[in-house]
Structure 1
Amino acid sequence: MSSKMELYRRYHAPVFQVACRILQDRVIAEDVMQDTMIIAFDKLDSLQEVEKLRSWLCTIARNESLRELKRRRKVSFDDESYPEIDASEDKVFAEHWTVEEIMKEIDALPDGYRVILNLYLLDNLSHEEISETLNISAGTSRSQYLRAKARLRQQMLRSDERRTEKSI
């Protein structure tokens, strides 16, 4: 088996997951996965630390996914205001939810919020890195993160209310 086929076989799933998480469309995510692999094959010689191959591929996938979102003009940031969140309540609030349920709620957020939460919480990018990636200011990244968190909390509260109504 060729080294490119082995690379594809080994890493296509995590690359696809990154693209799917950002794009929320399996067909487009597959295209981005293919594009990512083509870019990686072309630039493989530039990778200096082989042990960082997975991270490098996922970074390419993230950047290509964000480029695709921008191309489709699907990422927008709003000025909706949400109440301040008491961070001490987050832990108690999250104890009633599984990771899968929380991810489903994150996936239901508008693209701008979902992308910021994914980049900050799941990809561990700083607000400065997010600002460079999305071509926004670090302050916008921070405020959108707080708004996304508040919106997520509202969604989860509504879901909790629906659960309670069903159980009565």
Structure 2
Amino acid sequence: MPGYTSAVLIELLDGCLQKNRRSQELLYKQFYGYAMSICLRYTRSREEAKEILNDGFYKVFTKLDTFDSSRSFKTWLSRIMINTALDHYRQEVRRDVFDDVEVADNVTVDETVISKLAHEELMELIQRLTPSYRIVFSLSVIDGYTHEEIADQLNISVGASKSNLSRAREKLREMLSKINIGDYDRVTR
């Protein structure tokens, strides 16, 4: 946590445990950017991400007594934000949007193209994916969940997780190629 020592963080967390509004406000402000970046990966819009972020911080403040102070607070916060986004997703989208395929092709995205994109551009492309593709892609590629963990979290089969990841990568590849063609057209004019 830049600018915060672990002693300051512990003091903030203690204040939050005591329901001190100022401590809650400071903790919220300190971790807002980090938590928002997580929420944006799972949503289509900033407004939806803010809703998830606020629900997530509510959970942080009401469940802070379950936090193990021997572990990383950022990791705990990240898990809460991801789970809150998944809860939101489950409420908004029915299970039948997932394609249940036993085996999916392993499709890769050209990493050199992705590395040239600004973070904001990549997030915008991810947000354009369908909800099922976006959720599985974010859980797998960005947050490092296994297909078994994704299947368990979303109550789908491992094959559906693999299929959705494969199709998300393919959609991203299509979007990236359109960006590259657009860039090429601008340069050649």
Q: TM-score range by the shorter chain?
A: 0.7 to 0.9
* Equivalent in the alignment of 2:58: 38
Stretches of 4+ moved more than 6 A in 1?
none
* Contact 1:105/1:155 (8 A) holds in 2: yes
1:120: Cα distance to partner?
Answer: 0.9
The aligned amino acid for 1:110 is T
The aligned amino acid for 1:64 is T
Structure 2: distance between partners of 1:164 and 1:78 = 35
The answer as to 2:77 corresponding to 1:29 is no
Structure 2: distance between partners of 1:44 and 1:50 = 13
Structure 2: distance between partners of 1:48 and 1:79 = 37
The answer as to 2:92 corresponding to 1:69 is no
The sequence identity of aligned pairs, in percent, is 26
1:92: Cα distance to partner?
Answer: 5.1
* Contact 2:99/2:163 (8 A) holds in 1: no
Q: Which has the higher contact order (CA 8 A, sep 6+)?
A: 2
Q: SS at 2:98's partner residue? A: coil
The aligned amino acid for 1:111 is P
Q: SS at 2:42's partner residue? A: helix
Aligned residues: 164
* Contact 1:15/1:61 (8 A) holds in 2: yes
1:50: Cα distance to partner?
Answer: 4.7
Structure 1: distance between partners of 2:48 and 2:117 = 28
Q: SS at 1:23's partner residue? A: coil
Structure 1: distance between partners of 2:106 and 2:58 = 44
Deviations 1:36-81 (A, max 9, x none): 112111111111135421111121111111221221227733479x
Rg (Cα) greater in structure: 2
1:22: Cα distance to partner?
Answer: 0.8
Q: SS at 2:156's partner residue? A: coil
Structure 2: distance between partners of 1:110 and 1:55 = 27
1:6-155 equivalent positions in 2, closer than 5 A = 6-73=26-93, 76-78=97-99, 85=107, 87=108, 90-91=110-111, 93-94=113-114, 97-100=116-119, 101-155=121-175
Structure 2: distance between partners of 1:72 and 1:20 = 16
CA distance 1:103–1:20, shift in 2 (3 Å): closer
State the superposition RMSD in angstroms: 2.7
